[in-house]
Amino acid sequence: MERRSLIKSLGAFSLGAWHSALDQGEKLADPYVVKHTKLDTDVLVVGGGTAGTIAALQAGRAGVRTIIIEAGSQLGGTTTTGGVVFPGIFHAWGKQIIGGIGWELVTDCVNEDGGELPNFSIIPNNTTIRHWQHQVSVNGALYTLLAEEKCTDAGIQIRYYETPTQITTSDTGWLVTTVGKGIEAEITCKQIIDCTGNASAASLVGYKLLRDIDTQPGSLIFRIGGYEYDALDLNQIPKKYHGMLRQNQIISGKVTNPEGIFPANVPYGYVYVPGADSTNAELHSQANMQGRSNLLKLLRDLRTHPGCEKTRILDLKTETAVRETYRIDGEYKVTHQDYVEGRVFEDSISHSFYPIDLHREGKSIYQEFLKEDVVACIPLRALIPRDSANFLVAGRCVSSDRLANSALRVQASCMGMGQAAGAAAALACIKGVTPGTLPISEVQDLIEAHGGIIPR
């Protein structure tokens, strides 16, 4: 045999041998079917975002059976999937005002990432704290890993890709029907905590919701690079891009190192998405697509400016982060006046600290800074839908007017609410009552036993 045909036949033989090793024959598979499952738990947390993760952790650590269902594929919500990786505000006027499980997760994340906490003792020369200096930069990827590990360690069942379609009362409490990827589940539980950010579970039950005619724009968060900073003619780049790119350090004559601005190591850019709404798959898809299209336009335009020719995307969040949709109409509605006066309630379960902070498309952010030594408070009643039983919410859908909500919605406050809701739900299960009838001191004591800070 000639040398060439010998090599060829050897090749054919060895390829055949490979194939037989890889291809071991087909078998007739069962058709794809939707799996039906029934589960029973004490506390069901709907939405595993900023507040929901902490609510579940508190309930699980208080010793009650806890399930968390999350429509997405990871924990953290706006903090991770949305890319808002700089939670705040845990400190005000030189002292810590929000602690507990949220603070534990945030600080563990910073420590395990080799990061550094900001200097919280800084109180700037005027009466307004530069709040962004007190936000904590976290590594979003690590945050999701730690959140999941902590939930697993607390015995919490996490169910991703799942959402409720119906919520009715049952003999023992609630019957929640859910759908997910290839799943239909019936979950019975004693207490529900709605942490969807949109009050979706509360709405399914039929509780009344609040929503303003105007809502703040959402933001799609990205990072870009590849531009030559020294070659940039900043005056040539349209003014309308300056805010969007400021955090990315591309725009701002004074910004030459990331340490100088915002929380260290969090350079990012964003495009606004007017009317962004994450209430259902259709609306959130639209918000995501609008954000992506806006970014593409920005990128293409930027590349026409000197120094930006090679600008490229380094990172893009998978979802447009949404600021405002629905809130519950609760047993108490926190007002703008309550917030800016720092009103302390008998049933306060957490502090909240941020300026009134309303984003407006095409206009500057409306901000009102709190006066010196003022720190706002959140009452448990604001987490309880009016005329409800065995149901709590936590996070940005807390019962509040629009201006109060623009400050209450920040992450540390959402975490504080999450912990309080988890504590109240767990105690209610243990005692067989509805959260609104619990002696408030018992809820407050449980929060404090898990490191939380109660306004007194």
Ligand X SMILES: Cc1cc2nc3c(=O)[nH]c(=O)nc-3n(C[C@H](O)[C@H](O)[C@H](O)COP(=O)(O)OP(=O)(O)OC[C@H]3O[C@@H](n4cnc5c(N)ncnc54)[C@H](O)[C@@H]3O)c2cc1C
The least CB distance from residue 13 to ligand X, in Å, is 53
Pick from 226, 250, 247, 223: which is nearest to 236 by CA? 250
For position 377 contacting ligand X by CB under 6 A, the verdict is: no
For position 379 contacting ligand X by CB under 6 A, the verdict is: no
For position 90 contacting ligand X by CB under 6 A, the verdict is: no
For position 203 contacting ligand X by CB under 6 A, the verdict is: no
Return the residues of window 315-344 that contact ligand X according to CB under 6 A: 321-323
C-beta closer to ligand X: residue 62 or 415:
415
- Contact between residue 384 and residue 185 where contact means Cβ atoms under 8 Å apart: no
The least CB distance from residue 262 to ligand X, in Å, is 9
The least CB distance from residue 92 to ligand X, in Å, is 13
The least CB distance from residue 81 to ligand X, in Å, is 6
Which of 60, 72, 267, 342 touches ligand X by CB under 6 A? 72
For position 393 contacting ligand X by CB under 6 A, the verdict is: no
For position 217 contacting ligand X by CB under 6 A, the verdict is: no
For position 355 contacting ligand X by CB under 6 A, the verdict is: no
For position 396 contacting ligand X by CB under 6 A, the verdict is: yes
The least CB distance from residue 20 to ligand X, in Å, is 46
For position 79 contacting ligand X by CB under 6 A, the verdict is: yes
Half-sphere exposure of 412 (CA within 13 A, CB side): 33
Q: What is the 3-state secondary structure (H, E, C) of the chain?
A: CCHHHHHHHHHHHHHHHHHHHHCCCCCCCCCCCCEEEEEECCEEEECCCHHHHHHHHHHHHCCCCEEEEECCCCCCHHHCCCCCCCCCCCEECCEECCCHHHHHHHHHHHHHCCCCCCCCCCCCCCCCCCHHHHCCCCCHHHHHHHHHHHHHHCCCEEEECEEEEEEEEECCEEEEEEEECCEEEEEEECEEEECCCCCHHHHHHCCCEECCCCCCCEEEEEEEECCCHHHCCHHHCCHHHHHHHHCCCCCCCCCCCHHHCCCCCCCCEEEEECCCCCCCHHHHHHHHHHHHHHHHHHHHHHCCCCCCCCCEEEEECCCCECCCCCEECECCCECHHHHHHCCCCCCEEEEECCCEEECCCCCCCEEECCCCCCCEEEEHHHHCECCCCCEEECCCCCCECHHHHHHHCCHHHHHHHHHHHHHHHHHHHHHCCCHHHCCHHHHHHHHHHCCCCCCC
For position 78 contacting ligand X by CB under 6 A, the verdict is: yes
Amino acid at 394: A
Which of 45, 147, 156, 414 touches ligand X by CB under 6 A? 414
Which of 44, 57, 64, 86 touches ligand X by CB under 6 A? 86
For position 409 contacting ligand X by CB under 6 A, the verdict is: yes
Q: How far apart are CA 116 and CA 121, in angstroms?
A: 14
Which of 41, 137, 163, 400 touches ligand X by CB under 6 A? 163
Q: Which stretch binds ligand X (CB under 6 A): 82-90, 118-126, 138-146, 334-342?
A: 82-90
C-beta closer to ligand X: residue 260 or 439:
260
The least CB distance from residue 112 to ligand X, in Å, is 21
C-beta closer to ligand X: residue 52 or 100:
52
Return the residues of window 11-70 that contact ligand X according to CB under 6 A: 46-52, 69-70
Return the residues of window 119-148 that contact ligand X according to CB under 6 A: 135
Which of 57, 62, 71, 426 touches ligand X by CB under 6 A? 71
C-beta closer to ligand X: residue 140 or 307:
140
C-beta closer to ligand X: residue 72 or 100:
72
Q: Which stretch binds ligand X (CB under 6 A): 194-202, 292-300, 419-427, 429-437?
A: 194-202
Q: Which residues bind ligand X (CB under 6 A)?
A: 46-52, 69-72, 77-79, 82, 84, 86-88, 135, 163, 195-198, 200, 218-219, 321-323, 395-396, 409-411, 414
